[in-house]
Structure 1
């Protein structure tokens, strides 16, 4: 009887491990669809400025608005997954993403495209946390580290392939950059319906509407502040009021979440040192990451006159190094631990960001590709281990909360980073233009514009490098957390 039980358990375990890989493949495909839609716009901003006769401050909302709605919906992912099952939530998100992509292709002006992109962001914001939750619920623990690395590497295929694919499509017909993944969405829907197991929490939860309202209002206020601070000025009463309003709303959100029994996000997870260190390091790395994916395509197209397709080709190899570094971090994670990986990766991000603060009008393409590769290797070595350490540190019943919280903060910090870097860029652009006009009156208007543009990007990267330095001491908290929990 004991032998039969052991054999049954072993057969069950073998079956679970065998079915884990097809399941992981579908989750990876869904994650890739989400990340592709996030990164496909990176090389398209200058093109859409010409297509719709708009300026950068408006067109950047194709990324900022998308990132914001992604962050706004992410806190609800844990509640929706517990109530309707993560399988149903995954299938609903893929189907809705398919429809919203068709709407983007049908946009008639820049404002309708921004609106439909924000709708896209809602469903992309659900896919990332729900796929991560399913991995921790279903994949056997022995294979979970490699599964997380493969899942993370799939998110790298987006930055690697999206700029090249969307850049090529932009040169022929921009509508197809939104329609290209429709067959992939249909295949993912069918296979997800067949393969993903139905898992639903037995705990009945009520929707924390007040907490969601606080989170949305606070996030919107802070993002709007960063988008308008250049026009209003940092010391204007409107900037001060909007900043105070946003911070106040987020303070009320935190107080509310800590007081109720069924919070929208389980902020008590921050009592766990490893989880707190994981969130902190991830936020810093996300801010540093967004500066690169935002400004480098702009620099290559505006200063070097490259087409979106050629920008995608130039950045293809550096993006693939991100995937390789992510897989290596999964291989090394159990051997050397997250601390060394995060420290090494964050150091490379600091170095590469600092090197990008020396861009000139004639900087070679090889220089750009080299230091983008270094930046991506740093992100790949550090971001996934930091997230994995945080997820491992929480009890199984809080996987959905932890996943939603991690992805929410990553998206919110990404949106805030875009708004902040845009404000810094415009402020420095005005300053450099005025200085160059006074000191070089004999130069052409185009030379002054291009030089000021490049110097402003240099300043933004210098700020990104300084911000990334903060990630180094924060990474040391991982060691403290591991020591205290061991």
Structure 2
């Protein structure tokens, strides 16, 4: 990469007066993308009656979408370098808006599945591209705050989308998809005027072999861990997906380290701070999604709450998440990522353990308070950890770093949920055997199984504490980080 291009990429593009409008555009774009990632988790069974079909077909509304997200995410780094971050962001935002309209007017289940897969392509790109835009355009002193706002949009979409879609399905299912269209159009219009254009490298070539290997590996692993309980480890599908997934992943790593124009810069792992922050963020993401997944199950099955009421119960937690996220961004430079991550992770461990002590008679107030405290820990820990890793690398590599982070988060989160689900059903069988399979014993067995899943999650989160201690306050690019960049440049030449 030429010195002139590096200088252009290193220069912040967002002027001070347009900081908040530009950040708001990235916020709403990220929110729209995340909304459609989780919007159908609660309302999925309703489509069985809407389209007069069965659960096996309906599940592909989510499965096909998730596979598309996982396959396309590694290409976001190339897309940003080749076409420009602003152009790719606006293209994805337009794509999400158009596919939302198409999903709303689906005439049968097959049309909806096809449009959801297409929507997954745009949603899989917009998250890493929007994060990379922050580090390419926002001045370093404002990046922690900017990432806090961006992270909040992601988690807010995760928290609100299930309850909103559940309520809208009871009123008019088409609105589940149309509700984000006005937001998408507004963000598209403002973004085209406010967001700055960055330099592009038209000589960048797409690593087709790397993309094919990443796609086959992602597809195989996502299918494997999404169906691990249903298939069982003795089935042929289990072993085929395992062999293809692991084999493609190993071949992908070897290919990326040998080629001059890799799809993802795996040499970023030479950067100690980036590697530690990525591992910690993967662990925290697993913790985040385990809570979002199992708490609603418990509230629905044991307390009989509707998806809308479950969403209301999560609202105080969303408020705490907002405050903690902004606090971590505001005081990032004062306390440093290690302190914030340790405090937040400790809160996550304690509250996750409390969830492993649930009873059938646990009050809704107690659950709401634990959710609020748990979200506070998430807000304190996740954003500083991500920011520490992204700030440790040069701006010119932010697209590859963002693509790597988002891709691995999707893969590991899906794998973790598959393992948690398998653990839950395995423990449910054990507890039903111990307590009996009567209707009276079922709530107790169900609750104990969720407790086991949360205890497993708490143990996983515990492993993040010693790693968080290794994070340091940001002091610019270190010698190790500089050598990483030099190695990547040397490999290109």
TM-score, with structure 2 as normaliser:
0.87
Q: Aligned partners of 1:109 and 1:433: how far apart in 2?
A: 39
Deviations 1:115-145 (A, max 9, x none): 4433322211111111112222222223222
- Please state how far the C-alpha of 1:33 moved relative to its aligned partner: 1.0
Equivalent position of 1:268 in the other structure? 267
Equivalent position of 1:433 in the other structure? 432
Q: Aligned partners of 1:481 and 1:252: how far apart in 2?
A: 35
Q: Aligned partners of 1:476 and 1:483: how far apart in 2?
A: 19
Is the CA contact 2:425–2:449 (under 8 Å) kept in the aligned structure 1? yes
Is the CA contact 2:210–2:255 (under 8 Å) kept in the aligned structure 1? yes
Equivalent position of 1:455 in the other structure? 448
SS of the aligned residue for 2:371 comes to helix
- Please state how far the C-alpha of 1:431 moved relative to its aligned partner: 2.7
Q: Aligned partners of 1:112 and 1:427: how far apart in 2?
A: 35
Equivalent position of 1:209 in the other structure? 208
Q: Aligned partners of 1:219 and 1:14: how far apart in 2?
A: 34
- Please state how far the C-alpha of 1:332 moved relative to its aligned partner: 1.7
Q: Aligned partners of 2:390 and 2:13: how far apart in 1?
A: 24
Q: Which has the higher helix share?
A: 1
Is the CA contact 1:167–1:310 (under 8 Å) kept in the aligned structure 2? no
Report the more deviating stretch, 187-196 or 144-153.
144-153
Equivalent position of 1:392 in the other structure? 391
- Please state how far the C-alpha of 1:482 moved relative to its aligned partner: 7.6
- Please state how far the C-alpha of 1:341 moved relative to its aligned partner: 0.9
For 1:458-477, what aligned pairs fall within 5 Å after superposition? 458-477=451-470
Equivalent position of 1:325 in the other structure? 324
Q: Aligned partners of 1:82 and 1:262: how far apart in 2?
A: 12
For 1:292-331, what aligned pairs fall within 5 Å after superposition? 292-331=291-330
Over 3 Å counting, the alpha-carbon distance change for 1:430 and 1:113 in structure 2 is farther
Matched, 1:126 2:152: no
Equivalent position of 1:9 in the other structure? none
Is the CA contact 2:100–2:178 (under 8 Å) kept in the aligned structure 1? yes
Equivalent position of 1:76 in the other structure? 75
Equivalent position of 1:255 in the other structure? 254
Over 3 Å counting, the alpha-carbon distance change for 1:146 and 1:214 in structure 2 is same
Over 3 Å counting, the alpha-carbon distance change for 1:92 and 1:345 in structure 2 is same
- Please state how far the C-alpha of 1:452 moved relative to its aligned partner: 2.9
- Please state how far the C-alpha of 1:21 moved relative to its aligned partner: 2.1
Equivalent position of 1:32 in the other structure? 31
Deviations 1:156-179 (A, max 9, x none): 332343344323213312221211
Deviations 1:159-202 (A, max 9, x none): 34334432321331222121111111111111111111221323
Q: Aligned partners of 1:105 and 1:420: how far apart in 2?
A: 33
- Please state how far the C-alpha of 1:456 moved relative to its aligned partner: 2.1
Over 3 Å counting, the alpha-carbon distance change for 1:111 and 1:355 in structure 2 is farther
Deviations 1:189-241 (A, max 9, x none): 11111111221323611111111111111122222222333234335565345
SS of the aligned residue for 2:351 comes to helix
Equivalent position of 2:486 in the other structure? none
TM-score, with structure 1 as normaliser:
0.88
Instruction: Give 5+ residue unaligned stretches, structure 2.
Output: 1-10, 480-493
Is the CA contact 2:358–2:447 (under 8 Å) kept in the aligned structure 1? yes
For 1:112-191, what aligned pairs fall within 5 Å after superposition? 113-191=112-190
Is the CA contact 1:425–1:456 (under 8 Å) kept in the aligned structure 2? yes
Deviations 1:386-429 (A, max 9, x none): 11011101112111111111111112112222222222222223
Q: Aligned partners of 2:163 and 2:415: how far apart in 1?
A: 26
Report the more deviating stretch, 80-89 or 425-434.
425-434
Q: Aligned partners of 1:45 and 1:294: how far apart in 2?
A: 14
Aligned residues: 469
CA RMSD after TM alignment: 2.8
Equivalent position of 2:8 in the other structure? none
Instruction: Give 5+ residue unaligned stretches, structure 1.
Output: 1-11
Equivalent position of 1:3 in the other structure? none
Q: Aligned partners of 1:54 and 1:359: how far apart in 2?
A: 36
Equivalent position of 2:3 in the other structure? none
Q: Aligned partners of 2:460 and 2:230: how far apart in 1?
A: 24
For 1:45-124, what aligned pairs fall within 5 Å after superposition? 45=44, 47-48=46-47, 62-63=61-62, 65-107=64-106, 113-124=112-123
